[in-house]
């Protein structure tokens, strides 16, 4: 590959775009890449364009940078497509929290599973179908690198609805979990050997070693001696399940029935209800600061983020082999999970592309939790693929945190309220209010 073209879909997520660009331009082979920015918000697109030029200058890069209100124009000739669109932005997220809260349903992040994850997926699917069709027509050989949540549902839908095969979902949870654990056990991250697998935001640390020695006993000793460590959901899950989860406590609490429905557990484990609404506000504030800084010529932050997309692009372009964690259709990679589901596994990346690692079987207690997660995902994808609104309710019924908090009658009424609130973003066949 000569000079790659990298298309950013949803480039108006300016803060995230900045981090990705800083990562890309840190590689010599990518300093002259063509960066094509697309967003439907003209002001955000203009801000992203200005930020891209500033970051390139700061890092001594000389890329071609273009901005495109038209998505198809941005995709023309693309070798890589990075998707980070959020359909509905902050207002839709507010709805995802406020309506369930009226029913007494608590959420912390609401972007992966549960009511928030279900409806974030359903309003994203129509966009993903159009994007997939455009890629298949305009740049069929491009790799689609997806950051948009709910990760596993979106990748499963993309694979089924568009037929694209060069799709991988990317999340930084495994990487940052391992950085945090390495610091905790006081071993340099570069010296830690590990393997994780499962599903996005609910994968498991299967191997955790330093120079051939298991680090789990050292972690156990630290937990036993630190009451504050024991006041974390992921530590509580690790103590009971035997393997450390690869996502934060806020996320992890939403995918099981044990925590959010109980006031005592919320207090014991210090769970911040509605946390993501604060994150949304912080993201808006960060965007405004960037926009104002660019307008007056002030410097902006130009720091790398160690995200996987730039590493993947560099490996494919340069042939440099590396391992990243990706979300891909299972197809036997984890043998005791559904072959149709999307799993998170280590992937080797080099000039030939992305090759997922076959894991074998997960420990049975971990697979049991992952199967519930994947079953909910499958029903959401089926709702869209089959135009079957009842499957939305079925997915909510089997979601662990929702089922722990609400009666079936409440779940169906809640889904009706959510369908009405998000109706404009849903495919027509799913806008039906069913009643109980």
Domain count, the chain: 2
- Examine the residue annotation and report whether 172 is marked as an active-site residue of this protein: yes
Is 145 domain-assigned?
A: no
Among 220, 253, 268, give the residue marking a domain's end: 268
In angstroms, the CA 251 to CA 80 distance is 29
Among 111, 196, 193, 98, which residue's Cα sits nearest to residue 147?
111
CA angle (349, 350, 354) in 5-degree steps: 40
Is 210 domain-assigned?
A: yes
In angstroms, the CA 122 to CA 139 distance is 25
Average pLDDT over residues 7-18: 87
In angstroms, the CA 279 to CA 256 distance is 22
Give the pLDDT of residue 434: 86
Question: Does the pLDDT of residue 164 top 70, yes or no?
Answer: yes
In angstroms, the CA 296 to CA 294 distance is 5
First-to-final CA distance of the chain: 56
Among 346, 307, 353, 347, which residue's Cα sits nearest to residue 24?
307
Is 77 domain-assigned?
A: no
pLDDT class for 241, splitting at 50, 70, 90? very high
Is 232 domain-assigned?
A: yes
pLDDT class for 436, splitting at 50, 70, 90? low
348-358 pLDDT per residue, tens: 999 999 999 99
Is 248 domain-assigned?
A: yes
319-342 pLDDT per residue, tens: 999 999 999 999 999 999 999 999
Is 7 domain-assigned?
A: no
Prior bond of 251 cis (ω within 30°)? no
98-148 pLDDT per residue, tens: 999 999 999 999 999 999 999 999 999 999 999 999 999 999 999 999 999
pLDDT class for 184, splitting at 50, 70, 90? very high
Among 248, 268, 288, give the residue marking a domain's end: 268
Question: What is the pTM for the complete model shown?
Answer: 0.95
In angstroms, the CA 424 to CA 415 distance is 15
Give the residue with greater pLDDT, 192 vs 58.
Answer: 192
In angstroms, the CA 308 to CA 323 distance is 9
Give the pLDDT of residue 163: 86
In angstroms, the CA 274 to CA 260 distance is 11
Pair type for strands 342-350 and 353-356: antiparallel
Question: Does the pLDDT of residue 252 top 90, yes or no?
Answer: yes
Among 268, 287, 312, give the residue marking a domain's end: 268
Contact 200, 177 (CB under 8 A): no
For the chain, what is the HEC assignment?
CCCCEEEEECCCCHHHHHHHHHHHHCCHHHCCCEEEEECCCHHHHHHHHHHHHHHHHHCCCCCEEEEECCHHHHHCCCCEEEECCCCCHHHHHHHHHHHHHHCCCCCCCCCCCHHHHHHHHHHHHHHHHHHHHHHHHHCCCCEEEECCCCHHHHHHHHHHHHCCCCEEEECCHHHHHHHHHHHHHCCCHHHEEEEEEEECCEEEEEEEEECCEECHHHHHHHHHCCCCHHHCHHHHHHHHHCCEECCCHHHHHHHCCCCCCCHHHHHHCCCCCCHHHHHHHHHHHHHHHHHHHHHCCCCCCCCCCCCHHHHHHHHHHHCCCEEEEEEEECCCCECCCCCCCEEEEEEEEECCEEEECCCECCCHHHHHHHHHHHHHHHHHHHHHHCCCCHHHHHHHHHCHHHHHHCCHHHHHHHHHHHHHHCHHHCCHHHCCCCCC
The residue from 49, 53, 68, 172 that is catalytic is 172
Give the pLDDT of residue 203: 98
Average pLDDT over residues 162-167: 92
In angstroms, the CA 202 to CA 225 distance is 26
Question: Does the pLDDT of residue 303 top 80, yes or no?
Answer: no
Q: Which is it for the CA torsion 99, 105, 110, 113, positive or negative?
A: negative
Among 76, 7, 67, which residue's Cα sits nearest to residue 40?
67
Is 387 domain-assigned?
A: yes
Give the pLDDT of residue 84: 94
Is 347 domain-assigned?
A: no
Retrieve residue 231's tokens: 């006041």
User: Going by C-beta distance under 8 Å and a sequence separation of 6 or more, which residues neighbour residue 282?
Assistant: none
Among 148, 139, 127, which residue's Cα sits nearest to residue 11?
148
Among 189, 216, 159, which residue's Cα sits nearest to residue 343?
159
Range of 228's domain?
A: 174-192+202-268
Give the pLDDT of residue 1: 58
């Amino acid at each position: 590959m000569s000079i790659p073209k990298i298309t950013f879909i949803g480039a108006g997520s300016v803060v995230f775009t900045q981090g990705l660009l800083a990562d890309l331009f840190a590689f010599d082979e990518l300093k002259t890449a063509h960066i094509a920015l697309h967003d439907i918000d003209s002001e955000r697109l203009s801000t992203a364009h200005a930020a891209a030029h500033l970051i390139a200058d700061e890092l001594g890069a000389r890329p071609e940078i273009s901005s495109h209100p038209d998505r198809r124009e941005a995709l023309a000739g693309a070798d890589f497509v990075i998707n980070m669109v959020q359909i509905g932005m902050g207002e839709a997220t507010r709805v995802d929290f406020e309506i369930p809260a009226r029913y007494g349903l608590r959420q912390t992040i609401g972007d992966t599973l549960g009511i928030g994850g279900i409806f974030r997926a359903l309003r994203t699917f129509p966009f993903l179908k159009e994007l997939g069709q455009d890629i298949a027509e305009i740049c069929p050989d491009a790799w689609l690198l997806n950051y948009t949540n709910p990760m596993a549902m979106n990748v499963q839908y993309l694979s089924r609805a568009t037929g694209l095969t060069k799709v991988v979902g990317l999340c930084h949870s495994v990487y940052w979990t391992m950085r945090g654990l390495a610091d905790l056990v006081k071993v340099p991250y570069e010296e830690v050997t590990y393997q994780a697998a499962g599903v996005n935001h609910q994968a498991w640390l299967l191997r955790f070693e330093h120079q051939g020695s298991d680090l789990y006993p050292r972690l156990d000793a630290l937990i036993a001696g630190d009451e504050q460590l024991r006041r974390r959901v992921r530590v509580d899950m690790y103590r009971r399940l035997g393997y450390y989860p690869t996502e934060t406590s806020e996320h992890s609490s939403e995918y099981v029935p044990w925590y959010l429905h109980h006031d005592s557990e919320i207090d014991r484990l210090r769970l911040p209800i509605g946390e993501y609404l604060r994150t949304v506000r912080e993201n808006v504030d960060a965007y405004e600061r960037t926009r104002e800084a660019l307008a007056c010529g002030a410097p902006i932050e130009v720091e790398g983020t160690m995200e996987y997309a730039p590493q993947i692009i560099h490996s494919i372009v340069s042939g440099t082999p590396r391992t990243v964690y990706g979300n891909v259709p299972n197809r036997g990679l984890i043998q005791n999970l559904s072959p149709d589901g999307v799993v998170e596994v280590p992937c080797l990346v080099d000039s030939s592309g992305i090759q997922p690692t076959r894991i074998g079987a997960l420990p049975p207690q971990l697979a049991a939790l992952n199967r519930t997660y994947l079953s909910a995902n499958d029903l959401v994808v089926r709702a869209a693929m089959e135009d079957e609104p009842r499957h939305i309710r079925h997915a909510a019924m089997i979601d662990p945190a929702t089922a722990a908090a609400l009666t079936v009658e409440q779940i169906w009424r809640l889904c009706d309220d959510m369908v009405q609130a998000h109706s404009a973003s849903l495919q027509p066949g799913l806008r039906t209010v069913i009643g109980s």
